[in-house]
Amino acid sequence: MKKAVCRWKIFKRQATRRVIGTQFAGLAVALSLVTMPTHAFDYNMAQAKQDEMLTRIVITTNSQYAFPLEKTLGMSQSYHGVHPGVDLRAPVGTKVLAMAEGTIIEVGNMLIGYGHFVRIAHHGTISTLYAHLDKISVKSGERVERGQEIGTVGMTGWTTGPHLHFEVHAGEKAVNPLNYISQ
Ligand SMILES: [Zn+2]
């Protein structure tokens, strides 16, 4: 199967390579957090308890947000300096879900770039963007619930295969979506 990637990566390959190293370091830290409970027997009781608390905090933080897809085949591109979101692979037609409750503030159709996209404003200054959609089932100004379907995965805009390009913004700044969602 063709790997679904955004073409921004091709233009900024060198910068990407540099940043990817940092991402792997982050991933290693994240993985070590996730795997900690299974190795709890290797630690003394105090350490195990600390790990358990840490794991619970991570899960609690993420549980207020829905994963933006009903199912995914995995991440084909992470968040980094020249790619302000994550690419989540999924077949065309897979339901795209609102990460949290909010108001639809933009429904767009770009011939290149994002293609068909939806932007949602959430509580505070958090907003999310869902790009390369096939069908869109919401209108600007509409209220949505957490986990509500807003459209389906497609291949519109600049993409080499079906995937959801997903961004989270805190104010004006695009932040790492993996701080909000977990698979
Ligand atoms: Zn992307």
Buried b (16+ CB within 10 A) or exposed e, 7-28: ebbeebeeebeebbeebeeeee
User: Taking Cα atoms as reference points, which of 169, 66, 87, 152 lies closest to residue 117?
Assistant: 152
Give the mean model confidence (pLDDT) for residues 156-182. Answer: 95
Å from CA of 78 to ligand 1 middle = 8
Looking at domain 1-183, its CATH superfamily turns out to be Glucose Permease (Domain IIA) (2.70.70.10)
Check residue 5 and give its pLDDT: 52
Residue 154 has pLDDT above 90, yes or no: yes
CA of 145 from ligand 1 middle (Å) equals: 24
For the segment 21-73, what is each residue's pLDDT rounded down to a tens digit? 444 444 444 444 444 443 334 445 555 555 454 444 444 445 689 999 999 99
Task: Tell me the pTM.
Answer: 0.68
| Average pLDDT rounded to a whole number, residues 4-30 | 45
Cα(40)–Cα(55) distance, integer angstroms: 12
Q: Say how many Å lie between the CA of residue 47 and the centre of ligand 1.
A: 39
Q: Is the pLDDT of residue 11 over 90?
A: no
Q: Where are the domains of the chain?
A: 1-183
pLDDT digits (tens, 9 = 90+) for 94-137: 999 999 999 999 999 999 899 999 999 999 999 999 999 999 99
CA 166 – ligand 1 centroid, Å = 7
Query: What pLDDT does 32 receive?
Result: 43
C-beta atoms surrounding 48 within 10 Å: 16
Range 138-157 average pLDDT = 98
